Amino acid sequence: MIRTLAAQIKEYKKVSVMTPIFMILEVVFEMLIPFLMASIIDDGVEAGNMQHIYAVGAVMIAAAFCGLFCGVMGGKYGARASTGFAKNLRQAMFENIQTFSFASLDKFSTAGLVTRLTTDVTNMQNAYQMILRICFRAPVSMVCAMTMAFFINARLASVYLVAVLLLAVVLFFIIGGAMKYFKQAFPKYDELNASVQENVSAIRVVKAYVREEHETKKFKKASQGIYDIFRKAEQHVVLNMPVMQFTVYGCILLISWLGAKQIVQDTLTTGELMSLLTYCMNILMSLMMVAMIFVMMSMSIASAERICEVLNEKSDLTNPVNPVYEVPSGDIEFRHVRFSYHKESSEAVLHDINLKIHAGETIGIIGGTGSAKTSLVNLISRLYDVTDGAVLVGDRDVREYDIETLRNQVAVVHLHTCSGYDCWTAAKEAEEYFDKMEAMEKKRRGGSRTMNKTALKALFINAKSVGARYIGMRLTQTGIEKPEFHITQRENFDKMFEYFMKVYDDDLISLTNREIKITGIAQGNTFEDIEFQLCDVGVDWKQPISDAIEKSYNNMISETPPASEEERLRCEAMKEAVKGMFLNESRTAAEARFIFDNIEKYEELFDICMNGDDIEFKRGLIELQRLQNEYILREEKDE
């Protein structure tokens, strides 16, 4: 595992070596400061030697700046090395995934691969940075501090040694309890990613069958699983701090008490006591860092194992030594084919299949879900290898061909079906629905048109799939000129759908003991848009604009006829350009109402345009935009 991961350091070896060097130098400079401080107190402050204080103080400042520089450089090189290592890991994993056969992909779920490429690699990046920085810094700092403490006073330094041993034992049990939970956390991430992936990829189906609540519960369960695992792990890890603080303050009390006695006995100086207390903090904090390294490593080891599984996975489909690079014909033959997805499986998916398909033939393979239809087709392009027997394309075993050549000649299209409702039926009904809507627009103000049952059914399906909040219907009763609007909220879609499918007969429907026709249908997210779509005036706002442009064009042609065919074509081109400018835009309900209420202003604007006055046209366009904004604001205020 270590060799597999180390191979991905590549061009970042230099910065990976420089990082620990700078971290060790930083520790060395830090360890000098307490020693120099003791000299200032003993030989400078107590002796009243200001010259010594200035000299040693200058050395302390220089050591602090040197330590700062080394720390900054260590952080810089550590960040570069860890991010580069993570980049190489992702690249190597992605490149290897591209070579996977379907059998290899079956071992890893899509969500699992995503987790490995993101969360696991991020854990390895953090762990690698900690190894280069903290893992070198903490042990060196602890050893240097312990050495300096024993150099100053071996008797008092023995307190540190006992405390370190006791603390190490306690931390060992704490970390051991946390590690088992961290290993359980990453499969939970796979479940969470799978939940998100399934919900997003099938969002239309989820909305169509109103399964949002189910998907929310499913995601919440996966999220709760991760929360529970990490909560249990943190219940162990959180003990680090109180144990560490108890040990630190216990050591400080013992060192202060025993050191005070030795100062009274003139076997220890005040400066040496201060240095010992400083080294106490360095030693115990270094041990705390080591403990956190072990926690991080326990998480990263699980991630490292999952990453190595992907890096070490090799496709079981390989090119032959001397591959064939040409497929002579499209003949396909199965000879005593037996296939199972797992080599050690005792039960095969396909048993003794013998089938011959000549080039140009169309074959339909019929069977229930799970009857191995797809498995059979996948063998032709060698997405899997047969367990026994042979699959021939162009009278040659597919295992003799170059894989890329074979797959360039054999095309496979996989169909992912919708759950609960046949996608083909829904697509055909939706297509018919939109055809009906287009026919309604063409027959604007041309009389009522009764909506048939298929279009109505498709409307409900489409509205649910796109997440519409309302469905509206225009109901026309014989003998009454003014139509009625019937608007259904989303929570009542299923109930109303069942009702209309039961009683609607493509002509009349009995609603509250009245004979009515459904002459308009619409879907949307606001009452205003629904009502506007169902009004005759809202069916096609583009028509009056187009009519106005045609009117201005005809006026121009009649007043100043084109002198040549070329000039007439230029005028035609200008007309089409103006149409494209105004008709290709989308309009809200309020904007469309403004057009109908102010069509005369648009006609004046088009007259200016056709006369070739660009400056006046731009001014008129700006003025029309201002009027439209005021119109919309006024409507919103009235509401």
Q: Letter for the amino acid at 411?
A: A
pLDDT class of 415 with cuts at 50, 70, 90 = low
pLDDT band at residue 289 using 50, 70 and 90 as cut-offs: confident
**Consecutive H or E run containing 356:** strand 350-357
CA distance 476 to 451: 11
Query: Beta strand 484-489 with 396-397: parallel, antiparallel or unpaired?
Result: unpaired
In this predicted structure, the answer to whether residue 507 has a pLDDT above a threshold of 70 is no
Taking the C-alpha atoms of residue 249 and residue 256, their distance in angstroms, rounded to an integer, is: 10
The answer to whether the CB of 81 falls within 8 A of the CB of 12 is yes
List the single range of 90-94, 226-230, 578-582 with lowest mean pLDDT.
Answer: 578-582
CA distance between the termini of the chain:
68
What is the rounded distance in angstroms from the CA atom of residue 508 to the CA atom of residue 451? 10
Pair 8, 118: CB distance under 8 Å: no
pLDDT(422) > 70: no
Give the 3-state secondary structure of residue 620. Answer: helix
State the Cα–Cα distance between residues 21 and 139, nearest whole angstrom. 13
Least confident of 91-95, 413-417, 418-422, 622-626: 418-422
| Lowest mean pLDDT across 11-20, 354-363, 500-509 | 500-509
For 12-70, write each residue's pLDDT tens digit. 889 989 998 998 888 888 878 877 887 888 787 777 788 888 888 898 899 889 989 99
Strand order in the sheet with 388-393: 350-357, 332-339, 388-393, 396-397
Q: What pLDDT shows up at residue 435?
A: 53
DSSP 200-244: HHTHHHHHHTT-HHHHHHHHHHHHHHHHHHHHHHHHHHTTHHHHH
Which of 122-136, 181-195, 266-280, 450-464 has the weakest average pLDDT?
A: 450-464
Q: Which helix (H) or strand (E) holds 249?
A: helix 240-264
What pLDDT sits at residue 148?
80
- Say if residue 457's pLDDT is above 60: yes
Closest alpha carbon to 534 in 526, 523, 546: 523
Taking the C-alpha atoms of residue 570 and residue 553, their distance in angstroms, rounded to an integer, is 12
Query: CA angle 74-78-82, nearest 5°?
Result: 180
CA dist 599 and 277 (Å) reads 88
Percent of the chain residues past pLDDT 90, beyond the cut: 3
What is the pLDDT at residue 441? 44
The order of strands in the sheet holding 509-511 is 484-489, 470-477, 514-524, 509-511
Among candidates 25, 22, 28, which has minimal Cα distance to 78? 22
- Neighbouring-strand partners of residue 523: 471
- Label residue 382 by pLDDT band (50, 70, 90): confident
- Per-residue pLDDT, averaged over 531-550, amounts to 66
Q: What is the reported pLDDT for 69?
A: 92
Number of neighbouring beta carbons within 10 Å of residue 516: 20
- φ and ψ at residue 534, rounded to 5 degrees: -80, -20
Ramachandran angles phi, psi of 336, nearest 5° = 50, 50
pLDDT score recorded for residue 443:
46
* Chain mean position to CA 95: 20
- Determine the distance from the C-alpha atom of residue 452 to the mean position of all C-alpha atoms in its chain, rounded to a whole number: 42
- Min mean pLDDT across 226-235, 422-431, 571-580 is at 422-431
| pLDDT tens digit sequence for 335-349 | 989 888 776 667 788
Residue type, 424: W
Q: H helices of 269-386, where?
A: 270-312, 373-380
The residue with greater pLDDT, 394 or 505, is 394
The band of 329, judged by pLDDT with boundaries at 50, 70 and 90, is: confident
Read off the pLDDT of residues 551-609 as tens digits, 9 standing for 90 and up: 888 887 787 787 777 777 777 777 777 777 776 555 666 677 777 777 788 788 877 87
Q: Helices 154-201 & 240-264, crossing angle to 10 degrees? A: 170
| Percent of the chain topping pLDDT 70 | 82
Mean residue pLDDT of the chain comes to: 77
The answer on pLDDT for 508 being more than 70 is no
CA distance linking residue 171 with residue 159, whole number of Å: 18
- For residue range 290-305, what is the model confidence (pLDDT) as tens digits? 777 776 776 777 788 8
Instruction: Check: CB of residue 504 under 8 Å from CB of residue 456.
Output: yes
What is the rounded CA–CA span in Å between residue 389 and residue 336? 5
Taking residues 479-503, report their average pLDDT.
75
The CA distance from 552 to 575, in Å, is 9
Say whether pLDDT at 411 is over 70: yes
Question: What average pLDDT does range 157-172 have in this prediction?
Answer: 80
How far apart CA 510 and CA 387 sit, in angstroms, is: 63
- Would you state the pLDDT for residue 111? 74
